[in-house]
């Protein structure tokens, strides 16, 4: 007993030393940003050795808002619970008989949560419908999105950008992120730029060309003076700068509720399909569900989906995966409540039970506050309610690093100076870190893995909750560089 107490005292002393030793470069950048030390949590751990004391632990047990870093929890849990080869099906049911290319009845498209049912795959679905002999539908195309509860959030609540596709609300039949791709192709000889809209939205008035103007590209979106608020019309009062060359502007449609019906009808008719009825929402009749679907398309595997989520911080895709966790576990409708319960249960079984390590003891001693329960909301980090500590994230990342799923999770993270949200990062050595970034008003966060000069690999977590949090990015960059330059510690 005496030896055990002596070990714990020595461990706590080591932890207090680590807590006090915020690297000078990091401390200087925090001071420059006017972000006090008590507004940040910092943690650097040996990725492969949970019994090793932290290289750095500062307020690591404090629950903090972590913004999009919360996607690490959602994606690792999904890889573990669903498996990296998991795919989403979108089945199509046909009601009635087909004669001479005419279906006398309805077509039902049933969404089951596919996070990436983009334009090309919707085209393939409709093309396959034509491939089974249907050219004209004497009825309706019915869209069934009942597999998820309706999650209605203000898409501009967090960043004031309601027309950005990544802010779309989740939907069991999420088509093309409820967005329109506008492609501008300049024709210098005619002094115009051609405008193409994909998908073609049924009942929406658009213009095929816009005037071309000379001069540098600059902010071409502002120069176009787009009128985007009217769901029935997309127009431009300005001009397109010739020096821009071809550009693609992805835009969230102004009326998300009508997007899927407009997109399906517009694309079906553009492919030469005829429709006597309309495209509307509804549920697949039970009688049709009793038999196999006429056809179905499947998503990319989850391992590919999580790369899109983490590298580009796609909020709506993360929420699709989050709701899938609840639907898969319950076998019924995916709800936020069910998904939160699944995630908490998974955390308790796979992460929280791994207690008693030196890292945990050290981070316990580095804070006077007791650990609050984890608070999961929608799985994307686009939330003011979610809370997690650097210690908890450190445990998650150490667990992931030692699991068979490590390659899939690490490959999904942005590589510093190479791709994703870290493409323009200016760390000391490009490629030295795989890190998920997060940002909300008054929140900045990074978490992931850093490759040390000594050959070691570290788990790094840095969270800032403060009105000046955005300015703390330089301090976090300095922390990544300090972690990577670990040969100086030996």
DSSP secondary structure letters along 121-184: HHHHHHHHHHHTT-SEESS-EEEE-TTB------TTTTTS-TTSGGGPPP-TT-BGGGEEEEEE
pLDDT higher than threshold 80 for residue 434: yes
| pLDDT band at residue 426 under the 50/70/90 scheme | confident
pLDDT higher than threshold 50 for residue 14: no
Averaged pLDDT, 141-156: 86
Averaged pLDDT, 83-100: 97
Q: How many Å apart are CA 347 and CA 341, to the nearest integer? A: 10
Query: What is the tens place of the pLDDT at every residue in 232-245?
Result: 999 999 999 999 99
Averaged pLDDT, 453-476: 96
The separation between the first and the last C-alpha atoms of the chain, rounded to the nearest angstrom, is 33
Query: What is the tens place of the pLDDT at every residue in 92-124?
Result: 999 999 999 999 999 999 999 999 999 999 999
| pLDDT band at residue 9 under the 50/70/90 scheme | very low
Picking from 288, 351, 424, the residue whose alpha carbon sits closest to that of residue 81 is 351
pLDDT higher than threshold 70 for residue 486: yes
pLDDT at res. 158? 59
- The runs of H, that is alpha helices, within 22-104 are 24-33, 71-82
| Residues 109 and 316: beta-carbon distance below 8 Å | no
Q: How many Å apart are CA 368 and CA 262, to the nearest integer? A: 56
Q: How many Å apart are CA 110 and CA 264, to the nearest integer? A: 13
pLDDT at res. 425? 81
Residue 181, CA distances (Å) to 9, 161, 169 in order: 61, 16, 18
Averaged pLDDT, 327-355: 91
pLDDT higher than threshold 70 for residue 160: no
CATH of domain 2-84+304-489: 3.40.710.10
* SS3 at position 76: helix
Q: How many Å apart are CA 407 and CA 23, to the nearest integer? A: 30
304 or 14: which carries more pLDDT confidence?
A: 304
The share of the chain scoring above pLDDT 90, in percent, equals: 82
Q: How many Å apart are CA 382 and CA 65, to the nearest integer? A: 10
pLDDT at res. 151? 81
| Residues 465 and 442: beta-carbon distance below 8 Å | yes
Q: Which strand (E) or helix (H) includes residue 480?
A: helix 473-484
| pLDDT band at residue 152 under the 50/70/90 scheme | confident
pLDDT higher than threshold 60 for residue 10: no
pLDDT higher than threshold 50 for residue 357: no
CATH of domain 88-299: 3.50.80.20
pLDDT at res. 424? 86
The full length of the chain comes to 490
Q: Please, which residues bridge with residue 141 across strands?
A: 107, 279
Please tell me if the domain spanning 2-84+304-489 has the same topology as the one spanning 88-299: no
1 or 170: which carries more pLDDT confidence?
A: 170
Query: What is the tens place of the pLDDT at every residue in 35-74?
Result: 999 999 999 999 999 999 999 999 999 999 999 999 999 9
Average pLDDT across the chain, whole number: 90
Residue environment code for 138-154, b if the CB has 16+ CB neighbours within 10 A, otherwise e: ebbbbbbbbbbbebebe
Strands (E), 278-353: 279-281, 295-298
| pLDDT band at residue 367 under the 50/70/90 scheme | very low
pLDDT at res. 13? 38
Picking from 330, 339, 328, 302, the residue whose alpha carbon sits closest to that of residue 317 is 302
Report yes or no on whether pTM surpasses 0.85.
Answer: yes
Q: How many Å apart are CA 113 and CA 330, to the nearest integer? A: 14
Averaged pLDDT, 309-322: 96
The domain ranges of the chain are 2-84+304-489, 88-299
Residue 225, token pair as written in the block: 């003076």
Peptide bond into 199 cis (omega under 30): yes
| pLDDT band at residue 354 under the 50/70/90 scheme | low
């Amino acid at each position: 007993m005496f030896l055990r107490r002596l070990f714990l005292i020595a461990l706590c002393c080591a932890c207090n030393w680590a807590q006090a030793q915020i690297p000078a470069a990091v401390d200087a950048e925090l001071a420059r940003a006017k972000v006090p030390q008590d507004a940040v949590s910092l943690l650097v751990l040996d990725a492969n050795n949970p019994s090793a004391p932290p290289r750095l632990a500062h307020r690591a047990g404090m629950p903090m808002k972590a913004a999009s870093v919360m996607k690490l929890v959602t994606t690792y849990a999904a890889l573990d619970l669903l498996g990296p080869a998991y795919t989403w099906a979108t089945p199509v049911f046909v009601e009635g008989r087909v004669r001479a290319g005419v279906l006398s009845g309805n077509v039902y498209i049933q969404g089951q949560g596919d996070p990436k049912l983009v334009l090309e795959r919707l085209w393939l679905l409709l093309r396959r419908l034509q491939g089974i002999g249907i050219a004209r539908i004497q009825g309706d195309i019915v869209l069934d999105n009942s597999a998820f509860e309706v999650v209605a959030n203000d898409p501009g609540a967090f960043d004031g950008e309601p027309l950005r596709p990544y802010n779309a609300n989740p939907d069991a039949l999420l088509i093309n992120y409820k967005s329109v791709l506008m492609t501008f192709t300049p024709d210098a000889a005619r002094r115009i730029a051609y405008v193409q809209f994909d998908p073609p939205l049924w009942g929406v008035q658009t213009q095929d060309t816009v005037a071309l103007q000379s001069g540098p590209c600059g902010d071409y979106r502002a120069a176009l003076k787009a009128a985007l608020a009217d769901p029935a019309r997309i127009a431009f009062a300005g001009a397109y700068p010739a020096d821009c060359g071809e550009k693609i502007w992805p835009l969230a449609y102004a009326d998300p509720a009508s997007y899927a019906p407009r997109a399906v009808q517009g694309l079906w008719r553009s492919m030469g399909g005829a429709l006597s009825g309309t495209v509307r929402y509804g549920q697949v009749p039970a009688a049709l569900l009793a038999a196999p679907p006429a056809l179905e398309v499947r998503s990319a595997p989850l391992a590919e989906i999580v790369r899109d989520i983490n590298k580009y911080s796609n909020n709506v895709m993360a929420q699709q995966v989050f709701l899938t966790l609840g639907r898969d576990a319950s076998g019924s409708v995916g709800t936020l409540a069910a998904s939160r319960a699944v995630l908490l249960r998974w955390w308790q079984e796979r992460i929280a039970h791994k207690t008693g390590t030196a890292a945990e003891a050290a981070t316990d001693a580095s804070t006077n506050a007791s650990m609050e329960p984890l608070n999961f909301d929608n799985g994307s980090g686009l939330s003011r309610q979610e809370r997690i500590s650097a210690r908890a994230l450190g445990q998650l990342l150490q667990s992931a690093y030692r699991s068979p799923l490590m390659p899939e999770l690490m490959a999904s993270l942005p590589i510093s100076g190479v791709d994703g949200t870290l493409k323009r990062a200016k760390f000391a050595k490009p490629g030295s870190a795989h890190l998920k970034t997060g940002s909300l008003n008054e929140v900045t966060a990074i978490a992931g893995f850093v490759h040390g000069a000594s050959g070691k690999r570290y788990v790094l977590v840095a969270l800032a909750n403060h009105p000046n949090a955005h300015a703390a990015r330089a301090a976090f960059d300095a922390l990544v560089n300090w972690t990577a330059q670990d040969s100086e510690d030996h």
